[in-house]
Structure 1
């Protein structure tokens, strides 16, 4: 393929990292279910629960974010982003981190060093356009990269025995950092996509909502880190949920339901609103934090990132962004059903917990299997319009 000029996996950041995210979402859940059922012995750096949480956040979610920013920053700033050999190096660090954490007998210092290196490496590769670009808001991504690195450090310090009870705080901090990225990105693309795809749609963007979005989320993240699962964090999360609900309502138009690549973004954002609400309520003891967490991770992060990867990959390979084909809308539905099963099944019928886990995991895997089958050829081949990227 390389000799014929038909191999373009490292032409732009979305290609290797969206492929890595799609395949890892499939493989990681498959391994998790095998570990969970005892079919495969769980051996490696993390315990079973730690591994699942870490890899879905620092494996899958970080790959999606890296792929998106290594692509979008070029459009936002007009400045160069990593391609070619540098992109191969960044991708290899991500992959090596995934392998080492499940390698029995791997030195702890090596596992931690490689895994911790990935996010700073992405930040270093993007610092110049993010810092020197005209839009100063983009500098916030550098602070988010720092927050993600701190979150990962807290996890590794706990696992290595340097400190105790830090990995849950690290995991929740990473969730909040991922949310900040999604809130920043969604505010730019969802209203724009809606107006572009739906005739007559006009999104309402309120300045106080945009400022409140990030202020409330930063406060909530700080409260959750300092006083986890308490009423202070709960109140901050409920305030963030309210603001996000108002934000989403301003973007909505009934016409979004005619466009799968658009309704999935609105539904994914609605999951974020629901997840923040449930997390807020869990701070007051109304429900278990794990229920709220999976509303955000499976529903919000999972659905929104699947929609974003599908949309970006089509647009940046020269294809019709509305032409998802017959299988990707099915993947969107399957993933939403999986989120419903994972969140509400154990809540309503906890005695069937294992059943809900298996069903939700199976639906997640089917959704990402469809994504991998459809998008692997798209991601590894050049743009159909002959343009670079």
Structure 2
């Protein structure tokens, strides 16, 4: 029977598009998880080479600013896109964006990476238009899906839009158009941390509860987010708002300390220590642990402790963001390709290496290792973790589902 309504016709068209597309283009997680991870390896190698040799880049960003920008808006941005494009169909009950539209979106992201790297050649305005345009298109596509389904997750789409605006601000800073050159990346760190708090607060207790129930451990199971969780997220957002808009000092420090305490209590309520037997679940708790650590270090910095700010920032980026990214990518890649949710030896090695890399990167500014050596060893561990992921999951992301479904 021919579909009659516009919605039915659109679903039929998308299903046909998925059936005609190669497996690599049948879900947003496939190209963006693979491409984002590969780009992170390339970008980090470029950064380490520039750091060691003093070589300049063909970018309007200085090497440190380029490294920071590409880790946040290039790597993290790609994984956010892959997660969002995969989650939206689950939220809305609609088929995912696939085939040529997905390929076009991925190529726009890739064009943004090349445009930023060669922005001194093509011009900073053109580079910004391509790079920022990707996030505007992504937010528009996701917003359309969520609105048509009347879904409650529109605030998540709003965070993606704000992330795109932070990207634009970072481009303005690189062009010397802002008094505060740190504004863009600080906004990005705040937004991603809040996004992890929001999404992590849903999936971590849910996956933990399901796993514990399967083990017959039914006492005191984690619950879904409530008022306390909302209060913690709001307190975290307020602390970041003060950090972005006000000079560092005791008020910002107190707000960060309160947010860190709330996040620590929140994490403890999810009972992660009971999940040591399942690395896929445990790594979610390990990744989230970096949030109260990072917030606590930011509090200490603003309250006058002799701790470099970079240590606190990398607790949130190299720690929370990178670990949660590996945790979500590995679980989603297995689940959405019909495979058993089990962490292979290569996956577990990736988890260990990303944790080691984060620890080394955070301690390097503290003088426990010679600074340059600490950064290089941390970068090597981090690259190795990403290569482990690519080695284990490239066949998964490039190949079809093993259950025969689309």
The TM-score, its normalising length taken from structure 1, stands at: 0.93
* Shift of residue 381, structure 1, vs aligned partner: 1.0
Please tell me whether the aligned partners of residues 248 and 302 of structure 2 are also in contact (alpha carbons under 8 angstroms): yes
> Which is bigger in relative contact order (C-alpha 8 A, separation at least 6)?
1
2:280 equivalent in structure 1 = 261
Cα deviation, 1:178-224, whole Å, max 9, x if unaligned, reads 11211111111111111222321511446232211321122123212
Please tell me whether the aligned partners of residues 130 and 141 of structure 1 are also in contact (alpha carbons under 8 angstroms): no
1:155 equivalent in structure 2 = 170
Please tell me whether the aligned partners of residues 144 and 181 of structure 1 are also in contact (alpha carbons under 8 angstroms): yes
Return the alpha-carbon distance in structure 1 between the equivalents of residues 388 and 147 of structure 2. Answer: 37
1:125 equivalent in structure 2 = 141
Cα deviation, 1:264-299, whole Å, max 9, x if unaligned, reads 111000011101111122122212211100011001
Q: Which moved more, 1:267-276 or 1:97-106?
A: 97-106
Cα deviation, 1:286-340, whole Å, max 9, x if unaligned, reads 1221110001100110111111100000000000012x22111011001101111
Return the alpha-carbon distance in structure 1 between the equivalents of residues 100 and 258 of structure 2. Answer: 44
1:35 equivalent in structure 2 = 50
Cα deviation, 1:322-373, whole Å, max 9, x if unaligned, reads 2x221110110011011111112321436x1001001100000000011011
1:58 equivalent in structure 2 = 73
2:228 equivalent in structure 1 = 209
* Shift of residue 253, structure 1, vs aligned partner: 4.2
2:125 equivalent in structure 1 = 109
Return the alpha-carbon distance in structure 2 between the equivalents of residues 325 and 156 of structure 1. Answer: 40
Of 254, 271, 274 in structure 1, the residue corresponding to residue 290 of structure 2 is: 271
Return the alpha-carbon distance in structure 2 between the equivalents of residues 150 and 6 of structure 1. Answer: 32
Q: Which moved more, 1:221-230 or 1:289-298?
A: 221-230
Give SS of 1:258's match: coil
Pair 1:131–1:233, CA change in 2 (3 A): farther
1:385 equivalent in structure 2 = 403
Q: Which moved more, 1:215-224 or 1:66-75?
A: 215-224
Give SS of 1:55's match: helix
Pair 1:369–1:242, CA change in 2 (3 A): same
* Shift of residue 228, structure 1, vs aligned partner: 4.8
Q: Which moved more, 1:279-288 or 1:196-205?
A: 196-205
* Shift of residue 6, structure 1, vs aligned partner: 9.3
Give SS of 2:57's match: coil
1:232 equivalent in structure 2 = 251
Q: Which moved more, 1:119-128 or 1:139-148?
A: 139-148
Residue 305 in structure 1 maps to residue 325 in structure 2: yes
2:26 equivalent in structure 1 = 11
* Shift of residue 231, structure 1, vs aligned partner: 2.9
Pair 1:309–1:206, CA change in 2 (3 A): closer
Residue 331 in structure 1 maps to residue 355 in structure 2: no
Return the alpha-carbon distance in structure 1 between the equivalents of residues 372 and 140 of structure 2. Answer: 42
Pair 1:132–1:232, CA change in 2 (3 A): farther
Return the alpha-carbon distance in structure 1 between the equivalents of residues 34 and 247 of structure 2. Answer: 34
Return the alpha-carbon distance in structure 1 between the equivalents of residues 36 and 234 of structure 2. Answer: 29
2:264 equivalent in structure 1 = 245
* Shift of residue 134, structure 1, vs aligned partner: 4.9
Return the alpha-carbon distance in structure 2 between the equivalents of residues 325 and 6 of structure 1. Answer: 29
Return the alpha-carbon distance in structure 2 between the equivalents of residues 163 and 377 of structure 1. Answer: 44
Return the alpha-carbon distance in structure 2 between the equivalents of residues 237 and 343 of structure 1. Answer: 18
Please tell me whether the aligned partners of residues 257 and 295 of structure 2 are also in contact (alpha carbons under 8 angstroms): yes
Residue 376 in structure 1 maps to residue 394 in structure 2: yes
Return the alpha-carbon distance in structure 2 between the equivalents of residues 153 and 128 of structure 1. Answer: 22
Of 279, 287, 291 in structure 1, the residue corresponding to residue 311 of structure 2 is: 291
Cα deviation, 1:51-99, whole Å, max 9, x if unaligned, reads 0110000001111111001001111221344211111111111101111
Return the alpha-carbon distance in structure 1 between the equivalents of residues 134 and 250 of structure 2. Answer: 34
Please tell me whether the aligned partners of residues 46 and 159 of structure 1 are also in contact (alpha carbons under 8 angstroms): yes
Note the residue ranges of structure 1 that are not aligned, 5 or more in a row.
Answer: none
2:8 equivalent in structure 1 = none
Aligned length: 381
Please tell me whether the aligned partners of residues 15 and 379 of structure 1 are also in contact (alpha carbons under 8 angstroms): yes
Give SS of 1:386's match: coil
